[in-house]
Amino acid sequence: MTEEIIIKEAPEQEISINMGPQHPSTHGVLRLVLSLKGEMVQKVEPHCGYIHRGIEKMTESMTYQQIIHLTDRLDYLSAHMNNAAVCLAVEKALDIEVPERVKVIRTIIEELARIASHQLWWCSFGMDLGGLTCFFYGLRDREKILDIFEETTGSRLIQSYNCPGGLMADLHPDFQRKVKEFIVYFRKLLPEYDELLSGNIIMMERSKGIGVMTKEQAISYGMTGPSGRGSGFSCDVRKHHPYHAYDKVKFNEVLRTEGDTYARYMVRIDEMRESMNIIEQLIDNIPAGDFAVKMKPIIKLPEGEYYQRVEAARGEFGIYIISKGEKYPYRMKFRSPNFSNLSALDALTRGHKIADLVAIGGSLDYVIPDIDR
Amino acid sequence: MREIINYFKSIFFALKSLWTGMKVTGSYFFRPWTIITQQYPENRKTLKMFERTKGELVMPHNDKNEHQCTACGICQMNCPNGTIAITSLSIETPDGKKKKALDKYIYNLGMCTFCGLCVKVCPSDAIVFSNKFEHAVFNKNKLVKTLNKEGSTLKKGVE
């Protein structure tokens, strides 16, 4: 006698829940409204604005030197790149050629910042997937870079080291030695990252084939940086429109064609190696000279529109200035990489589980203050 | 048959990959000197910050209680947040000329973003950043500091 078990299927209906604004895996105050069918995500609707500070409006009442310290607070992990974007735009508008020394120092510090940013991403990505070990390993190595920054620039995270026309201060005498020590140290320890997470079966099962984005989709969503390069979209500003000293160094643009979470992960790991290559090429050849051009105390840009883009740690960071010939910009607009990358979240997660949403969000590596500005 | 082999193969590789990761973590158990952790509140006496660390804004005074601030107000103008407020008074020099002198240099630490513009633009190097970084207080009024000391005067030779 077999008793027939009748499973009553619940009527499939969509429920909508909030993920965030206070949720550890959204890396900040991002609110995602999810439409769920069971555990499957049907739709993701990001609601921005919880940390909106009106930075673009604030810049309209600030001089160009003062704007620098606000751009630190957009994408705080690539603060130096954001600073450099403003400086490059102002220098381009005024037709100033900065000394070679400034260019090389800016390049080195930007690459160090990129490594530090990717290390912190690696920490949080591991933690999103449930591996707490990664967090301590990544932060341990990041501490070395932050010490180098603190010695030269005076701050650890938001450095404000650039200023229009050059740098705030010259390099600390220990800078070169410490960077070389760090490269030796980190070359030895980067394989540990692969052993801990890249080859881990749990991590591979949760990231391979999850959140696939084709090249065409990536282009149409405007995904840049490692997220776009994971889909095979060649979008490295350093390669295509070189600024600073990037045209003098040899490096590869890391490209992957799979377009899934694992590809985005591997692009970032390989980018750390490329960044170390760039630093190694430059660290011994820092030309002597001034660390800044003498600028007027009040900078007035000639009337016109100026655009400058740089490669921040998460993608293409653009800055657009309209000047009416005064000491304040008439209008300023930031093109932040995270905002475009976030717009692709809906397409990436459709049909996946909630746990995959966390993994995909971690691989996009969004920084919320950069989205809301 | 092939499916069964692949099934056991995948289990073997999964266990191997987990073992590789555990090996890294476990190896630190046997070499604890490679772990770098600072016992912060305990090592306060020996803790040394870097000389450029931007802790807070201070106005150095020499042993005659003299500072170098001429109350020109350039730092106040350059501060993006309105952190600095300078009140000046006019004094008469011995040769009968009227001159601006510093009365109070008020610095609101709670509003400072440590951009370093004030130190950079100061024409007489009157202000610097100190390394003190422990700013926690119970009342936020205590963050508003007067940087020039009581009864201090302008150093001779600074214009």
Looking up residue B98, the CATH number of its domain turns out to be: 3.30.70.3270
Please report residues of A whose CB lies closer than 8 A to that of B129: 154
User: Does the beta carbon of A70 lie under 8 angstroms from any beta carbon of chain B?
Assistant: yes
Residue A338 lies in a domain: yes
User: Does the beta carbon of A200 lie under 8 angstroms from any beta carbon of chain B?
Assistant: yes
- B63 and B21 in a single domain? The answer is no
- Among the partner-chain residues B13, B53, B78, the one whose CB lies closest to the CB of A201 is B13
Range of the domain at B6: 2-34
Residue A28 lies in a domain: no
- B28 and B77 in a single domain? The answer is no
The tokens describing B7, both together, are: 């099934």
User: What angle (nearest 5°) sits at the alpha carbon of residue A329, between those of residues A324 and A334?
Assistant: 125
Partners of A45 in beta bridges? A33
CB spacing of A150 vs B52 below 8 angstroms: yes
Cα A62 from chain centre? 25
Q: Is the dihedral of CA A183, A249, A241, A169 positive or negative?
A: positive
CB spacing of B17 vs A70 below 8 angstroms: no
- B148 and B81 in a single domain? The answer is yes
- B82 and B127 in a single domain? The answer is yes
Residue B50 lies in a domain: no
Instruction: List % helix, strand, coil for chain A (3-state, nearest 5).
Output: 50, 15, 35
Helices and strands: H and E segment counts in chain B? 3, 7
- B77 and B124 in a single domain? The answer is yes
Lookup result for tokens 């960071």: A317
Q: Is the dihedral of CA A123, A21, A332, A156 positive or negative?
A: negative
Q: Is the ipTM reported for this complex over the cut 0.90?
A: no
Please give the Cα distance from A116 to A312 (Å, whole number): 12
- B69 and B117 in a single domain? The answer is yes
Residue B8 lies in a domain: yes
User: Does the beta carbon of A199 lie under 8 angstroms from any beta carbon of chain B?
Assistant: yes
The tokens describing B6, both together, are: 């692949």
Please give the Cα distance from B24 to B29 (Å, whole number): 9
Please give the Cα distance from A97 to A89 (Å, whole number): 12
Substitution target in A60, A64, A65, A142 with the highest count of B β-carbons within 10 Å is A65
Pairing mode of beta strands B98-108, B144-146: antiparallel
- B23 and B98 in a single domain? The answer is no
Question: How many structural domains is chain A composed of?
Answer: 1
Residue B49 lies in a domain: no
pLDDT digits (tens, 9 = 90+) for A84-106: 898 888 888 888 888 888 889 88
Q: What is the pLDDT along chain A (373 residues), one digit of tens a residue?
A: 566 766 666 667 788 888 878 887 777 788 888 888 888 888 888 888 888 888 888 888 888 888 888 888 888 888 888 888 988 888 888 888 888 888 898 899 989 999 999 999 998 888 888 878 888 888 888 888 888 888 888 888 888 888 888 888 888 888 888 888 889 988 888 888 888 888 888 888 888 888 888 889 889 988 888 888 888 888 888 888 888 888 888 888 888 888 888 888 888 889 888 888 988 888 888 888 888 888 888 888 888 888 988 888 888 899 999 988 888 889 888 888 888 888 888 888 888 888 888 888 888 888 888 888 8
User: Does the beta carbon of A65 lie under 8 angstroms from any beta carbon of chain B?
Assistant: yes
CB spacing of A160 vs B114 below 8 angstroms: yes
Angle (deg, nearest 10), helices A100-128 and A354-364: 170
User: What angle (nearest 5°) sits at the alpha carbon of residue A249, between those of residues A243 and A251?
Assistant: 100
Residue B29 lies in a domain: yes
Residue B157 lies in a domain: no
Please give the Cα distance from A331 to A321 (Å, whole number): 6
Residue B39 lies in a domain: no
Substitution target in B12, B20, B24 with the highest count of A β-carbons within 10 Å is B24
Residue B41 lies in a domain: no
Residue A18 lies in a domain: no
Q: In which region does residue B110 sit, left (phi positive, over 0), alpha (psi from -120 to 50) or beta (all else)?
A: alpha
- Among the partner-chain residues A65, A195, A202, the one whose CB lies closest to the CB of B20 is A195
Question: How many structural domains is chain B composed of?
Answer: 2
Range of the domain at A256: 51-372
- B30 and B90 in a single domain? The answer is no
